[in-house]
Structure 1
Amino acid sequence: MHFAGRIRRRRPCPGDKWHLDEVFIRIQGELGYLWRAVDQNCVVLDILVQSRRDGTAAKRFFKRLLKGLSYTLRVVVTDKLKSYEVARRELMPDAEHRESRYLNNRTENSHRPTRRRERHMQRFKSMRQAQRFRSAHAFISGHFRPRRHLMTAGRYRAVRAKAFKIWTHETCAQSTG
């Protein structure tokens, strides 16, 4: 999990347009909610696993996203869940809020690896395990999967080589220290 934190600190500054969504996950037969935020470049900003999907849960997620933010957020895109509006009004009153079920496809597509990985792991055993795994997996996976369709082959190889170099540096530094 230390690797994911180190990689998170190395990523570029996130964009000023965020897409937020939540998805149901089963944990020990109970329903939980996986909240996810991505920026306009489909870079995962944060993930939070919670037992509720109300205004308080949305505020907690927004506070987590806004911690350490050094710029103003321009646009927040969500589905039509009213909890987002409650949290946005209180914590980000200047940001424009767009509610649409079709504008939010970036986060919907971002959930697909979660579902795939969840099937392979045969579900999560606890909220804590789900939170730790999803947070680490999202950042490490994003580190090794640049947006190939936007790059030339040479640029893609260079970005992948840099990603592996960073990974080697961070993992070797962790194992010797």
Structure 2
Amino acid sequence: MEEIMAERGVRVDHATLNRWVVKYSPIVAARAQSKKRPTLSSWRMDETYIRVRGKWVYLYRAVDKAGNTLDFMLSERRNRPAAARFFAKALSSNGIPSKIVIDKSGANAAGIREVNKILNRFGCPAKIQTVRSKYLNNLIEQDHRFIKRRVRHMCGFKSFRSASATLDGIEVANMIRKRQFPCNTSSGFRMFAEIAG
């Protein structure tokens, strides 16, 4: 981006570009969540590791049966409260699925049980079915590659906030690549411009 701007006679430092990413990526990601197409009711959920300040943190991600990105959340812990927080976030923007496929993680299963209890308290008769299978989760494991490919060259992040914001931007770019937005154009840049408003 720095080189593209320089070609047009605008000198922009890479640190400025990074500040723009940290400031505007969360805003664009929130708009993208509200503008994406409806998703299928069968979800695949998994977490992957990202390095922040020399420590491993967890990027929770969910895709539907067709591979469309549902939601994502960076967390410092991999436990029941973090999993429940992720599921609550995903449910609020995507509705209630009929089933969620997870790996053998006990934290994710406990998170789904907690969400089911909350739904039951609010009178929702539908219970989210949990399927624990590492083979059915291949779809999301393959989808992690896009994120890992982008993050590998960064040598880790210096702060949790910048990591979260940068990953927001990477995930939105991934959603644009998958054509998850109802747009009349095939240009990725035009799709981004429509999302960003």
For normalisation by structure 1, the TM-score amounts to 0.80
**C-alpha distance in 2 between matches for 1:33 and 1:60:** 13
CA contact (8 A) 1:44 1:139 kept: no
**C-alpha distance in 1 between matches for 2:147 and 2:41:** 24
Q: Which one of the candidate residues 94, 106, 120 is aligned to 1:82?
A: 106
What is the CA deviation profile of residues 50-92 of structure 1, one whole-angstrom value per residue up to 9, with x for unaligned ones? 111111111111111112444x310100000011111111213
Q: Which one of the candidate residues 152, 162, 181 is aligned to 1:119?
A: 152
What is the CA deviation profile of residues 82-120 of structure 1, one whole-angstrom value per residue up to 9, with x for unaligned ones? 111111112136111110111101111111122111122
The answer for unaligned runs of 5 or more in structure 1 is 148-157
Instruction: After TM superposition, give the deviation of residue 144 of structure 1 in Å.
Output: 2.8
Q: Given the alignment of the two structures, is residue 6 of structure 1 paired with residue 39 of structure 2, yes or no?
A: no
2:92 paired residue number:
67
Q: Given the alignment of the two structures, is residue 134 of structure 1 paired with residue 134 of structure 2, yes or no?
A: no
Counterparts in 2 of 1:8-87, with a 5 A limit? 8-70=33-95, 72-87=96-111
For normalisation by structure 2, the TM-score amounts to 0.73
RMSD: 2.2
Q: Classify 1:169/1:96 alpha carbon distance in 2 versus 1 (closer, same or farther; 3 Å).
A: closer
**C-alpha distance in 2 between matches for 1:88 and 1:63:** 9
The answer for unaligned runs of 5 or more in structure 2 is 1-24, 118-126
Q: Which one of the candidate residues 134, 137, 143 is aligned to 2:176?
A: 143
Kindly provide the amino acid, as one letter, of the partner of residue 52 in structure 1.
R
**C-alpha distance in 1 between matches for 2:163 and 2:77:** 15
**SS, match of residue 63 in structure 1:** helix
1:154 paired residue number:
none
